[in-house]
Amino acid sequence: MKKLLNDPANLVAESLRGVERAHPELRVDHENRIVYRADAPVSGKVGLLSGGGSGHEPAHAGFVGPGMLDAVCAGEVFTSPVPDQMTEATKKIDGGAGVLHLVWNYTGDVMNFDMAAELAAAETDTEVQAVVMNDDVAVEDSLFTAGRRGTGAAIAVEKIVGAAAEQGRSLSELADLARRVNDSSRSMGMALTSCTVPAKGSPTFDLPDDEIEIGIGIHGEPGRRRVPLASAHDIAEMLVDPILADRDFTGGEGVFVFVNGMGATPNLELYLMYNEIAALLDKAGIVPVRTLVGPYVTSLDMAGCLVSITRFDDEMLRLWDAPVATSGLRWGM
């Protein structure tokens, strides 16, 4: 294992200190490992909270800021934050209009966010609602989840709901919008290599040089199947075909296509993959109206990619285009 480390046990804590130094527009509660907006809580605005295990950077802290999330909780690598962290974060961003928890569908995250909502209700008068994001078409009831995993759709959900929150919409309106975006999204990923968790010091799973894993999760959990190494054209078909088979993406204003790098795959290859994916969508009569290509939801140093497609209506398109100022996404500011 070759990584930029001091002590693996201190990796998350030291990384958060770096986030704080690099981004003066953010605040970090080091005791509770919470990254939040410097202007939080914003009076009269619904607070948006997400988070999860570390190792997916820029998710989750990279999406904290105006036009997106108000705070995130950071767990250890690939490990859910605990309810006490989430409860403290909920309190920090409560501006009087309630707090919406946007939860990636992994068993620990769902359970801990549920407990945090109960604790917040018991300790304060904060109204909390939660939406679970579960867009992955690869498997049901995986190693880490009951039901489908939460993967790439979180970027669309958090961006669109974040823009709507800035407009002053109510907690129930934002929860309904989050469910609509999630329901409009499907995702599928693949791995060329495993990732190496620093505390373990060796690859999470064994993947021979002449094989790839189709349907991989963002923690290195197994996918649908292993197949021989194939061309980018064939891999694109293996990812896009199951997505299109699972949902109708025709109609509306077109689709948002997100080609995500898993951590070690360069943008040179990701844009090549987008070209193959766009050709498949052209053939299916599906029109991309917005795209995002790059490493946004990673799995440490895994090589591979994830494709996420969201069917946009006019409102989603306008909210996606609205200004955002985070370290991971920034435009219109």
102 and 229, same domain (yes or no): no
148 and 199, same domain (yes or no): no
- In the residue annotation, 23 being an active-site residue is answered as no
User: Which of 178, 203, 224 is the endpoint of a domain?
Assistant: 178
- Counted residue by residue, the chain has a size of 333
Q: Which of 23, 101, 219, 233 is catalytic?
A: 219
238 and 294, same domain (yes or no): yes
166 and 80, same domain (yes or no): yes
Residue 2 placed within a domain = no
Residue 104: what pLDDT?
A: 96
153 and 16, same domain (yes or no): yes
Q: Which long-range contacts (CB under 8 A, 24 or more apart) does 231-238 make?
A: 232/269, 232/272, 232/273, 232/276, 233/276, 235/190, 235/273, 235/276, 236/273, 236/276, 236/277, 236/279, 236/280, 236/307, 237/280, 238/190, 238/214
173 and 189, same domain (yes or no): no
State pLDDT tens for residues 27-81. Answer: 999 999 999 999 999 999 999 999 999 999 999 999 999 999 999 999 999 999 9
131 and 37, same domain (yes or no): yes
173 and 101, same domain (yes or no): yes
171 and 195, same domain (yes or no): no
Residue 142: what pLDDT?
A: 61
- Total count of domains within the chain: 2
**Residue ranges in the chain modelled with pLDDT below 50:** none
103 and 246, same domain (yes or no): no
Residue 146: what pLDDT?
A: 72
Residue 248: what pLDDT?
A: 96
Residue 291 placed within a domain = yes
Residue 4: what pLDDT?
A: 96
158 and 293, same domain (yes or no): no
Residue 1 placed within a domain = no
Residue 144: what pLDDT?
A: 60
User: Which of 127, 149, 178 is the endpoint of a domain?
Assistant: 178
Residue 143: what pLDDT?
A: 60
pTM of the predicted protein model: 0.97
Residue 221: what pLDDT?
A: 80
Q: Which of 23, 56, 60, 101 is catalytic?
A: 56
CATH (domain of 200): 3.30.1180.20
Answer for the pair 100, 222: CB distance below 8 angstroms, yes or no: no
- In the residue annotation, 56 being an active-site residue is answered as yes
208 and 142, same domain (yes or no): no
